[in-house]
Copies of this chain bind each other. A is one copy, B any other.
Amino acid sequence: MEKNKAMTEEARENRFRMVKETHRKSLEKAIEEKKADKQMTALCKQISKTKNYFTSSSCAGRIILLQLPKEENKKDASFHRKWHRKVKEKELWEGINSKTIGEIWFKLDPFILHIGTNNLENAKKILEIMKKNGLKRGGIMVAKPGKFMIELIGTQAMALPIKNKEKTIVDKKTMKHLLQKANKKLEKNYALLKKLEKSFRKELE
């Protein structure tokens, strides 16, 4: 029995190593092809270098114009505009004034980071780092033998509809105020990512 159990654990560990390696390669490819979010590259690389962790699909945080062709139906939603950086008023209005269908939402989405690891103990370390950094959203989403996935979500967010059926809901002055706010919050979001990166560097093996 003991031997069998040990073998199973070895098999689990091997599987984890393969999964980690696959994600390391995807990350490198994404960086090479400039598809990885710049503000998150250092953090992902850092995690990739650890023994027991990897990152999968993640987002550094962004300002978006989300298009919902049918009101309230997220299935057909698409990005009308997407910026992983601060946005200028002119750029925003270019996006708002161009052809759209249905409803347009202005959103500031915080970062979403997915970290994989091999067992519950290592997953718990991520939860601890979350807490230490004041992150309230996220948790262990997948808990399978040899594969634990933890999601971490930032705290900065904004969301409101600004256009419906080609008609703008929010005026220029209000939109200016909201964009300033969103830019400020995006900066804070990226600062939190930097802080998180430091924690990972210090505390993850």
Q: Which residues of A are interface residues toward B (Cβ below 8 A)?
A: 72, 74, 120, 123-124, 127, 137-143, 150-151, 153, 155, 157-161, 164, 169-171, 174, 177-178, 181, 184-185, 188
Task: From A127, A141, A184, name the one whose CB has the most chain B CB atoms within 10 angstroms.
Answer: A141
Mostly, the A contact residues are mixed
* A160-B137 CB under 8 A given contacts A143-B120, A143-B123, A184-B72: no
In the complex, the count of this chain's copies comes to 2
With both chains docked as a complex, state the minimum distance between the C-beta of A14 and any C-beta of chain B, in angstroms: 22
* A171-B174 CB under 8 A given contacts A143-B120, A159-B158: yes
Assuming A72-B188, A139-B141, A169-B174, what are 4 further A-B pairs, CB within 8 angstroms?
A138-B139, A139-B150, A157-B159, A170-B170
Closest B residue, CB atoms, query A152: B139
Inter-chain contacts of A72 with B (CB < 8 A): 184-185, 188
The answer to whether B178 and A161 have CB atoms under 8 Å apart is yes
Closest B residue, CB atoms, query A130: B141
Inter-chain contacts of A153 with B (CB < 8 A): 137
> CB < 8 Å: which of B124, B169, B188 contacts A143?
B124
Inter-chain contacts of A138 with B (CB < 8 A): 139, 141
With both chains docked as a complex, state the minimum distance between the C-beta of A120 and any C-beta of chain B, in angstroms: 6
Task: From A123, A159, A184, name the one whose CB has the most chain B CB atoms within 10 angstroms.
Answer: A159
With both chains docked as a complex, state the minimum distance between the C-beta of A163 and any C-beta of chain B, in angstroms: 11
Closest B residue, CB atoms, query A176: B169
With both chains docked as a complex, state the minimum distance between the C-beta of A22 and any C-beta of chain B, in angstroms: 23
Inter-chain contacts of A141 with B (CB < 8 A): 127, 138-140
With both chains docked as a complex, state the minimum distance between the C-beta of A86 and any C-beta of chain B, in angstroms: 16
